[in-house]
Amino acid sequence: MTIPDYETIMLPLLLLLSDKQEHSMRSVSDLLAEQFHLTNDEIKKLLPSGQQTIFYNRVGWARTFLKKAGLVDSSKRGYVIITRRGLDVLESKPEKITDDFLLKFSEFKEFLKAPVKKLKTDTLVHNIQQKTPLESLEEAYQRIRQTLESDLLQQVKSSSPSLFEKIVIELLVKMGYGGNLKDAGKAIGGVGDEGIDGIIKEDPLGLDIIYVQAKRWENVVGRPELQKFAGALQGQRARKGIFITTSSFTKEAQEYAKNIETKMVLLDGDSLTNLMIDHNIGVYLNANYELKKLDQDYFTEE
C-alpha cells in the first residue's frame, strides 16, 4: 500500500499506546509499519531533503499533533506515552482522528492558529484551499517553527537551575554580550529563587555593563518585580538591564519598562525561545532548502 498520511496514522498510534506504557518512537514506528503492511522500499523512502524517511516523519507529526491536543505526552526525547485524555478519546471509539477531530481541544486550536496569525490571516492552515506554492511553503514553515518554539519552551521550563543558567549565558554570548563563555559565566553565575542574576559586559571591551535577571517562572511577571529590578540596577550602578522570564509580563509591567529612564529590555518565554532558535541554542539544523528564481537578465542578449 502507499505510505499513509499523518492523519491516518494518529488513531493507530494512539491505540498502540493504550497499554499506558512509555514507548520509544522507533518501536512504535516499526509496529505501525507492520500494521500498514509497508514494504522495505516504502519504509526507507526519504524526504526530498534526504535527511529522514517519509514514514518516520509522518509518524513524528502524528505524535506532535496528538501531543498538542493533550492526548499523548513525552517524558524524554524520542519517547511517548498516552494521557488520561487520550484514553478518554479511545473510550469514545472514534472511527478516525483528524485535524478536525482535534479541534475540539482548545490547546490544539491555539496551536493551529498561532502560526497563521503571524501570516495575518484569520483562516486555519488546513482549511486554506487557494494557495500559491510559496504561500504553502511559508505556512508549513510557520507551523514547524511554532511547534519547535513550543517544545523548546517546555524543555527550558523543565530544565534544572544549572542548565537554565547555562542556556542564558550561552545565548547572551552568542548575541555578542559578555565577551566569552568563561567571562560571562563568572559574571552571571549564581542560582537562586528559580532564577539567576549578575552583571555582564555589553561589548567585548567592557565599555558598558548590563544587569541581567533571569527567572524560570510560570507566574506572570508584574510591575512590582520590575520595580525591584530597577532598584537593583541603581544599586549596581547599571544604566541598562535585561529581564528574562520563561513566562510573560503584564501590560502594566511592559508600560513601566517603557516609561522609566533606565533602559530595560524584557524577554518573555516566546522571545527567549525565538532567540534560542535564531542563535542555535538547544536546536540543530535538520534540513536546508534553497529557493531559487529564474534570472531573466542572464538570458537578455545585448
Q: What is the pLDDT of residues 84-96, one digit of tens each?
A: 999 999 999 999 9
Please give the single-letter amino acid code of residue 221.
V
Q: Under 8 Å CB-to-CB from 287, ≥6 apart: which residues?
A: 47, 49, 51, 52
Nearest CA among 194, 195, 193, 192 for reference residue 212: 195
Binned at pLDDT 50, 70 and 90, residue 165 comes out as: confident
114: confidence class by pLDDT, cuts 50, 70, 90 = low
SS3 at position 150: helix
Q: Determine the pLDDT at residue 274.
A: 95
Across 183-299, the runs of DSSP E, i.e. the strands, are: 191-192, 195-201, 209-215, 240-245, 263-267
Q: CA dist 167 to 4, 153, 272, 284, Å? A: 39, 12, 10, 15
Given a cut of 50, is residue 282 above it in pLDDT? yes
Q: How many CA atoms are closer than 13 Å to the CA of 232, on its beta-carbon side? A: 17
Q: Which pLDDT score, from 0 to 100, does residue 189 have?
A: 62
* Confidence category of residue 126, pLDDT binned at 50, 70, 90: very low
pLDDT at 248: 96
162 DSSP assignment: H
Q: Which pLDDT does position 139 carry in this prediction?
A: 77
Among the listed ranges 24-28, 125-129, 196-200, 216-220, which one has the minimum average pLDDT value?
125-129
- Does the pTM surpass 0.85? The reply is no
Map out the domains of the chain as residue ranges: 6-157, 161-267
Q: In which residue are the cell numbers 532598584 written?
A: 231
pLDDT one-digit tens code per residue, 32-89? 999 999 999 999 998 876 778 899 989 999 999 999 999 999 877 789 999 999 999 9
161-267: CATH architecture: 3-Layer(aba) Sandwich (3.40)
Query: What pLDDT, on the 0 to 100 scale, is given for residue 195?
Result: 61
